Structure formats: structure tokens, C-alpha cells
């Protein structure tokens, strides 16, 4: 059987910025069912799915194009039958409206709106709030509609792929959302390493990000994965994403063989402080060119928020995601410190 009337899924998604009618399901020659639930929402269900359900999301921030190109390529190869998945997989192209204007967001940063945050301010409705709420519903529908294979526990994975605004001392890194006190998983560190992501930053509390939503609501192993630097379409050096793509393909094909965990090859950072901008008069005390994971000496003043001054407190404390222009009340800077893999509670 051929493809659906939707010829190119990304193109069609961009032509329907905020919603689109579900499309009739199609079964490919290899038996995989393809369902399009909405704009940017496509699900592949193999005839005999294995025990793993995978969500690959991109464009929660519309200007982070490399992950969009990765997903586009995987989606079209799956639809053409060139790549065959053994797992149920859902791709989410989260914010097509923001892709079209080439910006992080249209009205509001979507990655601060999950876990119900989209509905916390009565009367405040905007496109990103509506879309975040719908994406939550699609995640629920996907994970909850998995077949019950004789009580076998299912493995739920969600990689929410991003690129960072700044240069970074570590080009690729993952954010391990707060686990609600549960141990971290060795296998997840191995999977990230296989993806070419040997640097992991551990969040120390709940967040309103997409990845934490999947962890908290569905017990998924979910990560925000930063794959490089924000660049416009056409300016990404796709060779820098070859390992990520190859790992994702092997994961879908179920041919991935994981190397044993190599603690010496990993760099783990613990979030030290989450600095929010609460005043209009907010400044960062270092230039825009300073890369993520740059450390400053103890006592150095990193930021000033009105009268409050934030100084480095810990040896090795480094900056991540500085952004003085965020909306009031939002995170303007994270600081992190390196920790030993041995000090992590791992299962």
C-alpha cells in the first residue's frame, strides 16, 4: 500500500500550524500501521510490536532545526518502508507555528507549560498553551494504548530533542529530569552514550518541561537532549548528528547492542542553582560568547536580579543556559557542579 495523501509529513505539518484533522490510517507493505493524529503527530505501529514504546519529539522550540531534520528523515524513511520499526513509535513536531517564524516560540515558551502549567492561569489562553495541553493528551493516548502483552511491563522512552542557544564546552548533553527520588538507570546512561551524548545534567526538582511530564505522569525514561547549537534550516552540519541518527535507527530496528557502562567516559553534573529572573532590571555578568559549562571562581558575581546578587558558591560551579531576556518569573540561568558517576544512585 502507498503512503497517505500527506506527501511529506513535515511540509504538511508546517502547512497546518496549530491543528489538522486526523488522517485515515494506512498500513505499509511491511505491516506497519501509520496513523496521523494531528499536525505534527504521527504514530507507527508494527504488526508485532516489541515491549518498548518510544516518543521522539522536536521543535518544542521552533528555531531548533537539527532535531526537526533528524525526525523528518526518520519519519519519511519509515513511511517509505526503508526503515522498519519493531517498537511503537510516536513522533511529535511540537510547535509548527514557531518553526514557520523561525523563533523559539510564538507567544510563550512551550517548555515551561507542561504538567498542567498550560492551564494554571485562568483566562490566559494562547496557542502554545493549547498545543502543550494537546501534546500531553497525545502522550497519554500513546502510552496508554500500548498492547497488554500478558502483563509484561513495557519500557517507555521519550527523547525530547533540542539545540542550545550558546556554544557549549560539551557539544551534546542530556538533561535527566527529576526522578521523584527514584534511582537513575544505568541502561539510560548507556543509551545516551551510544547516542554520542556522554554528558548528563541531573535536575534536582520538578520542572514544567516536556521530558519531566513523561517521567512524572507515565514513569517513562525521558530526557531533554541537547544536540548542538541552534542554527537555521540548511545550516546544520548533519554529519554531526550521524551518531544520534544511527543510534535511533538501531533502537527502532531493535538491533542496538549496548556497550558496558564506562563511568570514566561520562561527565555528570548536578544542578546547583536555578536562578530566575524576577525583576525587569536583570543582568548577567559575563559576555554572550561564554559557553555553557564554563566555571567561574568562588565569589564571582554571575547575575544581578534587581537588588539580589548571585555569586558563585561552590568550587567548579559552572553556568548552563544563561538567558537574561526570559520572561519575568522564568529561569535565566542554571548553575551546575560536576559529580562522580559513583555518587549516583544507579540501578
Ligand X SMILES: O=C(O)CCC(=O)N[C@@H](CCC(=O)O)C(=O)O
Nearer Cβ to ligand X (37/223): 223
Q: What is the DSSP string of 6-61?
A: -SSHHHHHHHSSS----EEEEE-TTS-EEEEEETTEEEEE-SS--SEEEEEEE-SS
Tell me the C-alpha distance between 319 and 312, whole Å.
10
Q: Please report how many Cα atoms fall inside a 13 Å half-sphere around the Cα of residue 157, on the Cβ side.
A: 23
Candidate residues 39, 277, 321, 336; the one interacting with ligand X per rule CB under 6 A: 321
Residues 205-234 that bind ligand X (CB under 6 A): 207, 209, 211, 224
Q: How far is the CB of 25 from ligand X (least distance, A)?
A: 33
Residues 51-80 that bind ligand X (CB under 6 A): 61
Residues 143-172 that bind ligand X (CB under 6 A): 162, 164-166
Nearer Cβ to ligand X (49/322): 322
Q: How far is the CB of 289 from Zn ion (least distance, A)?
A: 20
Residues 97-136 that bind ligand X (CB under 6 A): 111
Nearer Cβ to ligand X (166/170): 166
Tell me the C-alpha distance between 62 and 82, whole Å.
28
The answer to whether 193 is annotated as binding is no
The answer to whether 150 is annotated as binding is no
Q: What is the DSSP string of 132-201?
A: HHHHHHHHHHHHHTS---TTPPPEEEEEEEEEESS-BSSSSEEEE---TTPPB-HHHHHHHHHTT--EEE
Question: Are residues 209 and 160 in contact, defined by beta-carbon separation less than 8 angstroms?
Answer: yes
Catalytic residue among 17, 128, 171, 226: 226
Provide the mask over 58-87, with x wherever binding to Zn ion is found by CB under 5 A and - wherever it is not.
Answer: ---x--x-----------------------
Q: Which residues pair with 305 in a beta bridge?
A: 282, 308
Considering CB distances under 5 to 8 angstroms, the limit depending on partner class, which of Zn ion, ligand X, none binds residue 65? none
Decide if residue 118 touches Zn ion (CB under 5 A).
Answer: no
Look at phi and psi of residue 182 and say left if phi exceeds 0, alpha if psi is from -120 to 50, else beta: beta
Nearer Cβ to ligand X (88/156): 156
Considering CB distances under 5 to 8 angstroms, the limit depending on partner class, which of ligand X, Zn ion, none binds residue 165? ligand X
Size of the site for ligand X (CB under 6 A): 13
CA nearest to 18, candidates 139, 179, 132, 162: 132
The answer to whether 203 is annotated as binding is no
Tell me the C-alpha distance between 197 and 181, whole Å.
23
Candidate residues 34, 92, 175, 197; the one interacting with ligand X per rule CB under 6 A: 175
Is 301 known to be catalytic?
Answer: no
Q: Torsion angle, CA of 83/84/86/87, rounded to 10 degrees?
A: 60
Burial 114-147 (b: 16+ CB within 10 A, else e): bbebbeeeeeeeebbbebbebbbebbeebbeeee
Nearer Cβ to Zn ion (37/223): 223
Candidate residues 162, 166, 193, 229; the one interacting with Zn ion per rule CB under 5 A: 162
Active site residues: 226
Extract the annotated binding site for Zn(2+): 61, 64, 162
In the complex, the residues that contact ligand X under the rule CB under 6 A are: 61, 111, 162, 164-166, 175, 207, 209, 211, 224, 321, 323
In the complex, the residues that contact Zn ion under the rule CB under 5 A are: 61, 64, 162
Amino acid at each position: 500500500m502507498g503512503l497517505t495523501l500527506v506527501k511529506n509529513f513535515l511540509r504538511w505539518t508546517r502547512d497546518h500550524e496549530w491543528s489538522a484533522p486526523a488522517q485515515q490510517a494506512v498500513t505499509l507493505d511491511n505491516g506497519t500501521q501509520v496513523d496521523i493524529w494531528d499536525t505534527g503527530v504521527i504514530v507507527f505501529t508494527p504488526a508485532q510490536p516489541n515491549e518498548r514504546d518510544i516518543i521522539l519529539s522536536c521543535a518544542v522550540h521552533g528555531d531548533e532545526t537539527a532535531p526537526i531534520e533528524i525526525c523528518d528523515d526518520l519519519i519519511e524513511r519509515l513511511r517509505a518502508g526503508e526503515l522498519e520499526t519493531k517498537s511503537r513509535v510516536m513522533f511529535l513536531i511540537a510547535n509548527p507555528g514557531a518553526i514557520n517564524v523561525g523563533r523559539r516560540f510564538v507567544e510563550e515558551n512551550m517548555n515551561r507549560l507542561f504538567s498542567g502549567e498550560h492551564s494554571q492561569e485562568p483566562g490566559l489562553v494562547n496557542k502554545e498553551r493549547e498545543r502543550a495541553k494537546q501534546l500531553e493528551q497525545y502522550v497519554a493516548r500513546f502510552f496508554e494504548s500500548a498492547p497488554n502483552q500478558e502483563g509484561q511491563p513495557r519500557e517507555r522512552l521519550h527523547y525530547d530533542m533540542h539545540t542550545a542557544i550558546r556554544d557549549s564546552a560539551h557539544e551534546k548533553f542530556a538533561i535527566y529530569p527529576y526522578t521523584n527520588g527514584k534511582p537513575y538507570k544505568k541502561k539510560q546512561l548507556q543509551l545516551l552514550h551510544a547516542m554520542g551524548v556522554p554528558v548528563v545534567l541531573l535536575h534536582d526538582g520538578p520542572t514544567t518541561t516536556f521530558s519531566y511530564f513523561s517521567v512524572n505522569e507515565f514513569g517513562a525514561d525521558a530526557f531533554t537532549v541537547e544536540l548542538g547549537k541552534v542554527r537555521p534550516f540548511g545550516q546544520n552540519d548533519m554529519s554531526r548528528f550521524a551518531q544520534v541518527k544511527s543510534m535511533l535507527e538501531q533502537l527502532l530496528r531493535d538491533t542496538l547492542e549496548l556497550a558496558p557502562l564506562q563511568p570514566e567516559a561520562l561527565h555528570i553534573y548536578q544542578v546547583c542553582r536555578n536562578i530566575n529572573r524576577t525583576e525587569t532590571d536583570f543582568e548577567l555578568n559575563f559576555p554572550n560568547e561564554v559557553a555553557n559549562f564554563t566555571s567561574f571562581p568562588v565569589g564571582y558575581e554571575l547575575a544581578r536580579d534587581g537588588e539580589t546578587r548571585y555569586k558563585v558558591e561552590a568550587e567548579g560551579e559552572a553556568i548552563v543556559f544563561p538567558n537574561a531576556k526570559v520572561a519575568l518569573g522564568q529561569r535565566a540561568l542554571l548553575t551546575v557542579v560536576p559529580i562522580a558517576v559513583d555518587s549516583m544512585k544507579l540501578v
